[in-house]
Amino acid sequence: MFQEKEQHNGDLKESQVKRIQSEKVAASDIMVASLAHELKNGMTSILNFVQYCLNSTSKEDKRATALLGAERETKRCINIVRDLLAYLRVEKEGEEAPQEVSCAVIIDRVFKALSSRIEKEGVFIIQHYPEEISKVWMKAGSIELVFSNIITNALDALEKSQKKEIHVDIQREDKFIQVVIRDSGCGIARKNLARIFEPFFSSKPTGEGTGLGLSICERIINQHGGKIICESKLGTGTKFKILLPSKEGKG
């Protein structure tokens, strides 16, 4: 009897410690999100002012170089804060309601948003979708963020490539919808491949990546009960395979 009481008290104490720790983490997340939001607002104002100055400064003016540097670094800081806020939002799973959506619709939306860059950089988009694609029960905004991150990374990888192609294939794979996004870019070194989903790890040059994008992608896909796999080789490009439970498979 005494041992049972001791065990009960021990379990109760452990439960209280976990609850307190959980509350501390939640409070910390709220504080970080609040600070990040304020920083983003401040840096956006700075960026607007820098761009205003740039528009009023000739290219021959020596100050133009400094202003361009300030613009680049301010944009980088804004991107870091944006990714941090997205990371915290994904951690809490957000408040977005799931809905039945076709992956093709989401991907086409991403390509439309990036159409200006795609056209400017001369990138060819090759899409292979079946006539009928099963819908996925998803948080559409979150999945759009996944596809946007991967396709944007593909565009970055194609910048110095002679062959500029992004292939997107969608097909049924048992109870999953499989989306494969493949580029003909520079590829990822083997030593970095195992770490690409780690928070804050980036294989891009210093200052060009926050290292949160793919970590966010993996969390979102895991929350949807799916999988994300990356295959890559230097000089031959990168392929991301995303598996999401189909509407039928989820049911």
CATH no. for residue 140? 3.30.565.10
With tokens 């969390």, the residue in question is 219
Note whether 121 and 25 are same-domain residues: no
Note whether 170 and 55 are same-domain residues: no
Note whether 85 and 103 are same-domain residues: no
For residue 92, the model assigns a pLDDT of 52
Domain count, the chain: 2
Note whether 82 and 111 are same-domain residues: no
pLDDT in tens, 191-250: 888 888 887 777 666 556 667 788 888 988 998 999 999 999 888 899 999 999 987 655
Note whether 212 and 113 are same-domain residues: yes
pLDDT in tens, 113-168: 899 889 989 999 999 988 677 788 888 888 988 998 899 999 999 988 889 999 99
| HSE-CB for 60 with a 13 A CA cutoff | 0
pLDDT in tens, 20-47: 554 444 455 556 666 766 777 787 888 8
Note whether 87 and 117 are same-domain residues: no
Note whether 72 and 171 are same-domain residues: no
Note whether 172 and 245 are same-domain residues: yes
Which residues span the domain enclosing 143? Answer: 99-250
Final residue before a domain boundary, out of 91, 111, 128: 91
User: What does the alpha-carbon distance between residue 34 and residue 164 come to, in Å, rounded to a whole number?
Assistant: 40
Phi, psi of 106 (to 5 degrees): -65, -45
Note whether 10 and 81 are same-domain residues: yes
Q: Of 123, 135, 218, whose CA–CA distance to 170 is shortest?
A: 135
Cα 102 from chain centre: 19
Final residue before a domain boundary, out of 59, 91, 123: 91
> Mapped to the 3 state alphabet, what secondary structure does the chain carry?
CHHHHHHHHHHHHHHHHHHHHHHHHHHHHHHHHHHHHHHHHHHHHHHHHHHHHHHCCCCCCCHHHHHHHHHHHHHHHHHHHHHHHHHHHHHCCCCCCCEEECHHHHHHHHHHHCHHHHHHCCCEEEEECCCCCCCEEECHHHHHHHHHHHHHHHHHHCCCCCCCEEEEEEEEECCEEEEEEEECCCCCCHHHHCCCCCCCCCCCCCCCCCCCHHHHHHHHHHHCCCEEEEEEECCCEEEEEEEEEEHHHHC
Note whether 125 and 188 are same-domain residues: yes
Confidence bin at 10 (pLDDT 50/70/90): low
Inter-CA distances, 47 with 68, 72, 80, Å: 11, 9, 14
Final residue before a domain boundary, out of 73, 91, 109: 91
pLDDT in tens, 161-181: 889 999 999 998 888 999 999
Note whether 116 and 217 are same-domain residues: yes
For residue 26, the model assigns a pLDDT of 47
Note whether 222 and 127 are same-domain residues: yes
User: What does the alpha-carbon distance between residue 32 and residue 25 come to, in Å, rounded to a whole number?
Assistant: 10
